[in-house]
Amino acid sequence: MNTLEQQLSANLTQMKDWMDTMHMQPELSMAEENTSRYILDVLKTFDGFEISENVGKYGIVASLKVGDSSKSIGLRADFDALPIEEHNSLPYKSQVPGRAHLCGHDGHTTMLLAAGKYLSETKNFNGTVRLIFQPGEETMEGGPAMIADGLFEKYPVDAVFGMHNMPGLETGTFHFAEGEFMAAVDNWEIILEGKGGHGSMPEKAIDPVVAGSALVMALQTIVSRNVNPWNQAVVTIGAFNSGTVGNVIPQTASLKICIRTMTAEDRILVLDKVRSITKTQAESFGVTAQIKEGVPGAVLVNSEQETAFARDVARKYFGEDRVVYPAKPYMGSEDFAFMLQKQKGNYCMVGNGDTLMVHHPQYVFNQEILPTGAAYWVHLVEEYLK
């Protein structure tokens, strides 16, 4: 543990209190009114911050300027929860049925708050640091909403940085890579409409279940037969809903699909194939198809210079043995990708230890890494704004 981690660990009880409060009252994406208000209340206890709220609905930007430098840095954390029932026996377990912080966003926000508190007390830098608290990451809405609301025009930064906990990685280790680091995700729904009828007379009906089943299998050929085997892509059908009883051929079927790609070119290719295969499969079975396309995805691309900077800061203060470079890319997605389209920067992973994966109903954010993440943010600011 480095010196600053040890120092910040003295405030671990307060950090846990911040996180526990958010964890017990989770709010879903773009509906985080109370969480946003709580973050604001905490920020107002820090000295010197200029706070802007309602950026991209519930987003917050807290700016702290020290000295005379025009240089600036942005640090971003998310704070939305998931529509999943928590199956843990934690003393701070979610108190809202069907909702829980099972991705660690409450921990991310806590680490940034702890860094902000320390920076406001020490002010050991020359320039402006902007703490960006973002809603709506899980639905890929919050980042674009803050950008559309003038995030980088109203609160300019020279570079922006983000961080996510990752189960399975050694506790407190940092993982960096430049270039494509996380996949673009496109969440779509395909609605097939046939002709309902009696299960005993299929000839008088047009069965959307059979059409949908064939479509599920056909969509699996996109990656295996169109994407370069050296590249990464995946098409997942996570929900197939149709009918209610066994002796009725339903009128409609719905397929909810998740499309992930690691390059902009593969994204165009795969999405076009989903459209064309859906159209031709529907025609061959005599059903109609409607595709509801979600928020357009974006590949998260880390800039080379900022990645090298962040990596070197971590090496300097945490040691070579706690830094992994180059880290492997992830097929998970992050709407921080949209911020990196507008401004250079880096997104890294910090090890959560041997825990269940994020989005699992028994996932637990390792609170022992709260001082680790906060210390990383502080070191990044103090080095960037020397």
Q: Is 258 annotated as a binding residue?
A: no
pLDDT at 2: 84
Q: Return per-residue pLDDT of the chain as tens, 386 residues.
A: 789 999 999 999 999 999 999 999 999 999 999 999 999 999 999 999 999 999 999 999 999 999 999 999 999 999 999 999 999 999 999 999 999 999 999 999 999 999 999 999 999 999 999 999 999 999 999 999 999 999 999 999 999 999 999 999 999 999 999 999 999 999 999 999 999 999 999 999 999 999 999 999 999 999 999 999 999 999 999 999 999 999 999 999 999 999 999 999 999 999 999 999 999 999 999 999 999 999 999 999 999 999 999 999 999 999 999 999 999 999 999 999 999 999 999 999 999 999 999 999 999 999 999 999 999 999 999 999 99
pLDDT at 226: 98
Q: How far apart are CA 48 and CA 184, in angstroms?
A: 37
Q: Is 33 annotated as a binding residue?
A: no
Q: Is 103 annotated as a binding residue?
A: yes
- Other C-beta atoms closer than 10 Å to the C-beta of 211 total 24
pLDDT at 1: 77
**End-to-end alpha carbon distance in the chain:** 23
pLDDT at 17: 98
Phi/psi for 362 (5° steps) reads: -115, 15
- Determine if the pTM surpasses 0.85: yes
Longest dimension (CA), the chain: 81
Contacting residues for 95 by C-beta, under 8 A, at least 6 apart: 24, 25
DSSP 358-383: TTSTT----GGGHHHHHHHHHHHHHH
Q: Which residue has the tokens 């430098």?
A: 69
Q: How far apart are CA 95 and CA 76, in angstroms?
A: 26
Q: Which domains does the chain have, with CATH numbers?
A: 3-181+299-384 (3.40.630.10), 184-293 (3.30.70.360)
What are the DSSP E strand ranges found in the chain? 50-55, 59-66, 72-78, 127-134, 160-167, 174-175, 179-182, 184-193, 197-198, 233-241, 248-249, 252-261, 288-293, 300-302, 323-324, 345-353
In the structure encoding, which two tokens stand for residue 164, read together?
């996510």
Task: Tell me the helix, strand and coil percentages in the chain, rounded to 5.
Answer: 40, 25, 35
- Cα dihedral 33, 36, 38, 40 in deg (nearest 10): -130
